[in-house]
């Protein structure tokens, strides 16, 4: 169980943690390659292979998450494409109840996401998730991806928090590892970030949330 009495600040990822990663995987693996193939006279397989090679080269960097970068690289309006298919964006099971309980618990709740600001705007419009947070922070604002130490140093300057009394919940193991190296006291992963894929095995080095109902927060205890 999460030691909620030892936690004041809750740092939450968005995609794959609160929202179903199925949308993002579908968008990048199907929608973008199909559009690129159509524009450039390629087969879907050719387009998929080329785009995967480009994406793999930038994985873990700020470019990997930047819609402006990919729009320039691919010659497509990625933000517009995403808005066109945004109706498929949805919460992971139990995520909104979890957010409501966090809000009611009295803790400081901060979204920390690698998502581009345009992506965040689309997802806010569809889900209303901003109502549950004290602050929404994108890695683009801080100039570094969450997988890197500079992100955490910039976050501390931007929004000071007690590392040991904070929890980070994220579906990305590299991000959790970066949080661990920075000294975040409580680190939890997500067992089933993409509803269309099988859950991950319990083999990663961080405890994993399967059902949000099993880790609902308690109220903040008075000092």
pLDDT value for 63: 81
pLDDT value for 176: 97
In the predicted structure, residue 76 carries a pLDDT above the cut 60 = yes
Catalytic residues: 6
∠ CA 211-174-141, nearest 5°, is 95
In the predicted structure, residue 5 carries a pLDDT above the cut 90 = yes
pLDDT value for 221: 67
Percent of the chain exceeding pLDDT 90 equals 82
Contacts of 93 (CB under 8 A, 6+ apart): 195, 211, 212
Q: In terms of pTM, does the model score above 0.85?
A: yes
Question: pLDDT tier at 185 (50, 70, 90 boundaries)?
Answer: very high
- CA torsion 85→91→92→95, rounded to 10°? 170
Cα–Cα distance, 8 to 194 (Å, whole number): 28
**Digit-coded pLDDT (tens) for 145-157:** 999 999 999 999 9
User: Mean pLDDT, to the nearest integer, of 121-141?
Assistant: 96
Percent of the chain exceeding pLDDT 70 equals 98
In the predicted structure, residue 139 carries a pLDDT above the cut 60 = yes
> What value does the mean pLDDT of the chain take?
93
Q: Identify the burial level of 43 via C-beta atoms within 10 angstroms of its C-beta, where 0-12 means exposed, 13-18 middle and 19 or more buried.
A: exposed
In the predicted structure, residue 223 carries a pLDDT above the cut 70 = no
Q: Where are the beta strands (DSSP E) in 3-148?
A: 9-12, 108-113, 135-138
Cα–Cα distance, 42 to 66 (Å, whole number): 24
Cα–Cα distance, 141 to 204 (Å, whole number): 29
- Decide if 111 contacts 133 (C-beta within 8 A): yes
Question: pLDDT tier at 197 (50, 70, 90 boundaries)?
Answer: very high
């Amino acid at each position: 169980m999460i030691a909620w009495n030892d936690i004041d600040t809750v740092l939450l990822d968005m995609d794959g943690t609160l929202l179903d990663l199925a949308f993002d995987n579908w968008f990048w693996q199907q929608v973008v390659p199909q559009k690129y193939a159509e524009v450039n006279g390629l087969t879907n397989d050719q387009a998929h292979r080329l785009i995967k090679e480009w994406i793999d080269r930038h994985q873990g960097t700020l470019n990997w998450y930047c819609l402006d970068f990919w729009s320039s690289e691919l010659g497509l309006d990625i933000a517009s494409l995403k808005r066109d298919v945004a109706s498929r964006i949805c919460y992971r099971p139990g995520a909104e109840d979890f957010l409501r309980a966090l809000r009611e618990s009295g803790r400081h709740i901060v979204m920390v996401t690698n998502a581009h600001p345009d992506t965040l705007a689309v997802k806010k419009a569809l889900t209303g998730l901003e109502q549950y947070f004290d602050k929404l922070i994108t890695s683009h604002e801080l100039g570094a991806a969450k997988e890197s130490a500079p992100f955490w140093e910039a976050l501390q300057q931007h929004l000071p928090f007690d590392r040991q009394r904070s929890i980070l919940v994220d579906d990305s193991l590299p991000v959790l590892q970066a949080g661990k190296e920075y000294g975040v006291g409580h680190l939890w992963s997500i067992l089933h970030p993409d509803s269309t894929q099988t859950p991950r095995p319990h083999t990663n080095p961080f405890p994993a949330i399967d059902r949000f109902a099993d880790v609902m927060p308690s109220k903040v205890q008075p000092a």
